[in-house]
Amino acid sequence: MADTIEFSITGLDSLLGKLEAVTYDVKRKGGRSALRKAAQLVANKAKEGAARVDDAQTGRSIAANIGLRWNGRLFKRTGDLGFRIGVMHGAVIREKGNPDKGLNGPTPHWRLLEFGTENMRAQPFMRSALADNISAVTKTFVNEYEKAIDRAIKRAKKKAAQGV
C-alpha cells in the first residue's frame, strides 16, 4: 500500500574523494546530520502541502502531526542511514465517537486525502513533497555532508599537528 521513492545520486566525485580521507565513524555521524537536514526540507514541504489540503474548521491538523524520525531498524539491519517522514498517531482513533482533540489530535483521514477514494480524487501532499523537491534535497545533502567531512578533515589535521 505504501509507495516508496528511490533515487541515486551521480556526479559526486569531489565528495567521494573526501570520504576516503575520513574514518568510518565520522562518515556515519556527518552523514546522519546531513541526511537529517535534507529530510527536514522534505518534512517542511509536506507540512506546507498538508496545510493546503487540511480542513481549518476542525481542531485537528495533519500538518502538526507530520514527523521526522531516525530509522534505527534500517540502520541496525543494513548499516544504511535513513529517516522516516510520516503522519503520526497511526490509522485509527482509539476512543469511541469522534473526539476533537485539538491541534495535535489523531488525523487518520490523511490517507484518504493522500491516496483518494472512489468518490474523491487524490490530493497528494506527502509523495509530492519529495518528488517536487528532489534536486533541492540532494543539493542540501551534498553541501551539508561536504561541510561535515571538511570539518572532520580539519579536526584530524589539528589533532595530528598537536600529537607531533
- In angstroms, rounded to a whole number, what is the distance separating the alpha carbons of residues 38 and 68? 11
What's the average pLDDT block by block, 10 residues per block, for the chain (164 residues)?
66 66 70 94 94 82 91 90 88 66 76 89 90 93 89 77 64
Question: Which residues make beta-bridge pairs with 18?
Answer: none
Q: Give the pLDDT of residue 24.
A: 66
Yes or no: say if 58 and 81 are a contact pair by the CB < 8 Å rule.
no
Q: What is the pLDDT of residue 48?
A: 94
User: What is the value of pTM for the model shown?
Assistant: 0.76
- Which pLDDT score is estimated for 154? 83
The per-residue pLDDT for 160 is 67
